[in-house]
């Protein structure tokens, strides 16, 4: 048990988050093993998101000092980048059969741009958060690191807006397989929840007062409704979608062509277009 005192409600929420992400990590590992190369990055990063969240909350629960609690909180918060990477990877899997129609938007070029943006954002967030922990407030800089964290989270918000455009574009693209359509439906449902989650962090970093900050998280109601609940719904929804769409066709090419192999459509995913 942590020697750093917290309220019973906060402690209960931390335990709930620890348990949910610890349970979901093996499910994401299963999805990683049962999806093909098109979705490997997505399920790998979703697995890492669950692991980082669980490890962060373990550190918080066993912490013997406030500094260790902050380190665990930072580790848990920076896992947000892996959630974004997971979204990009699942979205990339959804584009496998239609990638040839919009090679720039649906191909690796956009993936690289998005990953670089999120990498820059999380670098700024880590630098700012560590500055807030290590540096002492001064008259000129009463909240060290806050501006850097806000800048990093602003990039997250912009990247999320780009993701919204990409998901909308893919929804309007004809010729997708049933499997891809199922994944895209869940991704479309989860994308607004991802926006709520990143806006919550941005507002916490921007406001950063005694009741609501990037690491402190605001009231218990705000933590549940704006952070924990969206993350729970996202991870559980994507894990179920991954299990339901496991073992996708292995013969999708970069041009979107398909080579029929026996009765590969017999399992219900089908090579049927929708």
pLDDT tens-place string over residues 192-242 = 999 999 998 888 888 877 667 666 677 888 889 998 999 999 999 999 999
pLDDT grade for 94, boundaries at 50, 70 and 90: very high
Measured CA to CA, the distance from residue 106 to residue 88 in angstroms comes to 10
Assess whether pLDDT exceeds 60 at residue 121: yes
**What was the pLDDT predicted at 3?**
46
pLDDT grade for 252, boundaries at 50, 70 and 90: low
pLDDT > 70: percent of the chain: 80
Helix axes 178-207, 80-94, angle to 10 degrees: 160
Structure-model confidence comparison of residues 251 and 161, the more confident one? 161
pTM value is 0.83
Mean pLDDT of the chain: 82
Structure-model confidence comparison of residues 6 and 152, the more confident one? 152
pLDDT > 90: percent of the chain: 46
User: What is the mean predicted confidence (pLDDT) over 132-146?
Assistant: 52
- Inter-CA distances, 227 with 80, 122, 211, Å: 11, 18, 15
For residue 208, is it left (φ>0), alpha (ψ between -120 and 50) or beta?
left
CB 197 within 8 A of CB 132: no
Burial of 100 (0-12, 13-18, 19+ CB in 10 A): middle
**What string of H, E and C letters represents the secondary structure of 2-19?**
CCCCCCHHHHHHHHHHHH
CB 211 within 8 A of CB 219: yes
Lowest mean pLDDT among 5-19, 159-173, 220-234: 5-19
Measured CA to CA, the distance from residue 19 to residue 60 in angstroms comes to 13
Find residue 258's DSSP bridge partners: 252
CA atoms within 13 A on the CB side of 163: 31
CA-closest candidate to residue 20, choices 72, 57, 45? 57
Lowest mean pLDDT among 30-39, 124-133, 136-145, 152-161: 136-145
Structure-model confidence comparison of residues 189 and 177, the more confident one? 189
Measured CA to CA, the distance from residue 44 to residue 253 in angstroms comes to 21
Assess whether pLDDT exceeds 80 at residue 108: yes
Measured CA to CA, the distance from residue 166 to residue 202 in angstroms comes to 22
Q: What is the DSSP track for 216-246?
A: T-SSHHHHIIIIIHHHHHHHHHHHHHHHHT-
- Inter-CA distances, 85 with 64, 114, 117, 209, Å: 32, 8, 11, 30
Q: What is the CA radius of gyration of the chain?
A: 20
For residue 217, is it left (φ>0), alpha (ψ between -120 and 50) or beta?
left
């Amino acid at each position: 048990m942590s020697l750093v005192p917290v309220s019973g409600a906060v402690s209960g929420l931390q335990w709930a988050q620890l348990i949910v992400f610890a349970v979901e990590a093996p499910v994401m590992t299963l999805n990683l093993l049962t999806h093909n190369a098109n979705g490997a990055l997505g399920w790998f990063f979703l697995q890492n998101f669950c692991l980082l969240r669980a490890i962060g909350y373990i550190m918080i629960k066993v912490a013997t000092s406030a500094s260790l609690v902050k380190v665990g909180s930072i580790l848990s918060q920076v896992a947000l980048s892996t959630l974004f990477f997971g979204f990009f990877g699942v979205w990339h899997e959804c584009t496998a059969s239609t990638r040839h129609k919009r090679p720039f938007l649906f191909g690796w070029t956009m993936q690289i741009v998005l990953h670089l943006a999120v990498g820059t954002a999380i670098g700024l967030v880590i630098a700012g958060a560590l500055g807030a922990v290590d540096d002492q407030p001064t008259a000129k800089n009463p909240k060290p690191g806050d501006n850097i964290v806000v800048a990093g989270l602003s990039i997250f918000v912009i990247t999320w807006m780009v993701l919204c455009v990409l998901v909308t574009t893919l929804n309007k693209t004809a010729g997708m397989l049933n499997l891809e359509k199922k994944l895209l439906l869940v991704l479309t449902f989860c994308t607004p929840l991802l926006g709520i989650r990143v806006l919550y962090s941005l507002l916490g970093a921007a406001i950063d007062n005694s009741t609501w900050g990037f690491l402190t998280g605001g009231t218990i109601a705000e933590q549940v409704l704006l952070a924990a609940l969206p993350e729970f719904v996202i991870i559980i929804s994507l894990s179920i979608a991954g299990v339901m769409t496991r073992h996708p066709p292995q013969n999708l090419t970069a041009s979107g062509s398909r080579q029929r192999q026996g009765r590969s459509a017999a399992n219900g995913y089908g090579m049927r277009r929708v």
